[in-house]
Each structure stands twice: as C-alpha cells, then as structure tokens.
C-alpha cells in the first residue's frame, strides 16, 4: 500500500506501508527517496514485520517544498508520520542523512513510540571539519557538492553514484543498473530541497541527540565508505550512545550493494528478533 499524509505546515508526504506486525520505519539518504529501501522493506515485511518508508519532504513523490528543508523539520515530519499511523514499539532505520533524521527524531521527540534504532552509514555526530571536529570532512568538499547540484546536477549525480557504491575501487565490478537507479531517484528530488539538504547533513551537530538516546542502537558502517568516513561517524556515534552495537563491514562502501548488502540484511534481521 502507498499513501500520503499532510504535515502541520502543509507538505504532503508520500509513504509505503507493506506487511503487518512490528513497524520498521526506514529513512533514506540524500538525495534519494523511499525506493532506495525497497529490497530491505520487502525483506522485513516477508519476515513478519510491517515496513514503512517515506519520501523526505522535497524528495521523490513528496511535496517539492520551498521552505522547511531543515533537520528539525525532517525529524518533525517523521514524528508526524509515526503519530498519524499511531505506531508503537517501532524500530527506526536510517541510512546516511536518514540516520541523522533518526537521531534528531529521538533527541527531539524521545523514544516513547520507538524501541530500537539502526544507523547505517549515518552522518552523525557531525560531518564537517572544524576546530572541534578536526577529523571531519573539509568544508570545501561540501561546497563542491553544492556547486555540482547547482551547475549540472544530472552529471553530478551520475558521477556520485560511482563512489557511493565503491565502483571506483580496483577489482570491483560496477553495476550500471545500480548507477542508473541512483541517478533516477536523485533526479526526482527538488533542486532547492536537495541543495539545502547539503548543509543539513554536513553541518548539523547530532552529539546531544546521540547522548539522549536511551534505546538499543545498531551502528552499521562499511570501512571503505568514501562518502561518510567510518572513523568520524560510526565510531564516534557508538561511543556517544548509551546502548550501542557497532558493526563494521570490511570493504563496505556507502551504498548497500553485493556482500555488504547481504551481511547488513542478516544483521538487521538478527537485531529485529529480540
């Protein structure tokens, strides 16, 4: 089933709702949409869970919003989705920017309706380099992303798909289909929302959100992630979380593909069991 709901500020949010059972809510990465989670949503639904995945505002089939493209609003949209469907005992699963959305939701709205969370290749605690985060990614990298979206986003997204999946590594057989799918989903994002989200995923500080989280969190990350480097993200997040399990995937890139996908899906199902 697919449907939409309207947020308190008037944005229409598209979501998928598959299966029955304990709700597993997926938040996607930038600049994709809920379709990026299709394989995992089908997997959990076929294992007795209810899979729910939404298109972030400005992305995919949701309203191409002019305003409200902020991490706080993303988290509030997630909260309104959860409340609209009256979800209880939910598990939140966020990839990349979606991992930031999950962390901000839990820091901002608490865990009354949520019992577990998964952060996959997630951007917390904070990506950008600064005096307080010297190991971070230089601001010039994000300026280049902004320039790519601004000048020729179609070519930029196509080029990004290569490093997203690690297809630029020696010996890795690239999938043109995966790259085309990434490009297709990316081009569905509204340009203003995509552009403004770059600042949100790179400069938002999730440190205090992570410290507030009081539920078990699986922190999953590939050790060859060229988009969100492991040691400035997952390693630090696991240390800040009260109840965390860190799972590092040798050779894993940023996007789920191949052996990385297989291993993560096995860990995800295991984490959902208890």
Q: Could you report the per-residue pLDDT of 202-219, keeping only the tens digit for each?
A: 999 999 999 999 999 999
Q: How far apart are CA 107 and CA 115, in angstroms?
A: 14
154 catalytic, yes or no? no
Specify whether 221 is catalytic. no
d(CA 185, CA 198) in angstroms, rounded, equals 16
| Contact predicate 213/107, CB 8 Å | yes
Work out whether the CA dihedral 10, 13, 17, 22 comes out positive or negative.
Answer: negative
pLDDT at 211: 98
Structural domain spans, the chain: 2-273
Residue from 55, 76, 209, 225 carrying the catalytic annotation: 225
Catalytic residue among 96, 186, 202, 233: 96
Any catalytic annotation for residue 225?
yes
Q: Which of 54, 59, 221, 254 is catalytic?
A: 254
- 64 burial (CB, 10 Å; 0-12 / 13-18 / 19+) is middle
Q: How far apart are the first and last CA of the chain?
A: 27
Q: Which CATH architecture group holds 2-273?
A: 3-Layer(aba) Sandwich (3.40)
User: What pLDDT sits at residue 274?
Assistant: 79
* pLDDT per residue as tens digits for the range 71-125: 999 999 999 999 999 999 999 999 999 999 999 999 999 999 999 999 999 999 9
Convert the pLDDT of each residue in 139-187 to its tens digit.
999 999 999 999 999 999 999 999 999 999 999 999 999 999 999 999 9
Neighbours of 125 (CB within 10 A): 24
């Amino acid at each position: 089933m697919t449907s939409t709901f309207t947020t308190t500020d008037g944005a229409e949010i598209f979501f998928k709702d598959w299966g029955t059972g304990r709700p597993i809510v997926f938040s996607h990465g930038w600049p994709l949409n809920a379709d990026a989670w299709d394989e995992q949503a089908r997997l959990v639904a076929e294992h007795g869970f209810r899979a729910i995945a939404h298109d972030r505002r400005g992305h995919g089939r949701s309203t191409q919003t002019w305003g409200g493209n902020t991490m706080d609003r993303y988290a509030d949209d997630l909260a309104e989705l959860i409340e609209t469907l009256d979800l209880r005992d939910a598990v939140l699963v966020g990839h990349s920017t979606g991992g930031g959305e999950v962390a901000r939701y839990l820091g901002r709205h608490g865990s009354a309706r949520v019992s577990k969370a998964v952060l996959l290749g997630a951007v917390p605690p904070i990506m950008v380099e600064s005096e307080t985060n010297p190991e971070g990614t230089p601001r010039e990298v994000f300026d280049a992303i902004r320039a790519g979206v601004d000048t020729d986003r179609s070519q930029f997204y196509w080029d990004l798909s290569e490093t997203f999946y690690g297809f630029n590594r020696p010996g890795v057989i690239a999938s043109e289909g995966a790259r085309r799918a990434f490009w297709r989903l990316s081009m569905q994002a509204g340009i203003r929302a995509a552009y403004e989200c770059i600042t949100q995923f790179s400069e938002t500080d999730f440190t205090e959100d992570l410290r507030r989280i009081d539920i078990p969190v699986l922190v999953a990350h590939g050790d060859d992630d060229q988009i969100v480097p492991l040691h400035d993200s997952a390693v630090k997040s696991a240390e800040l979380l009260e109840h965390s399990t860190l799972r590092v995937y040798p050779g894993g890139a940023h996007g789920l593909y191949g052996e990385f996908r297989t291993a993560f899906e096995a860990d995800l199902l295991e984490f959902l069991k208890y």
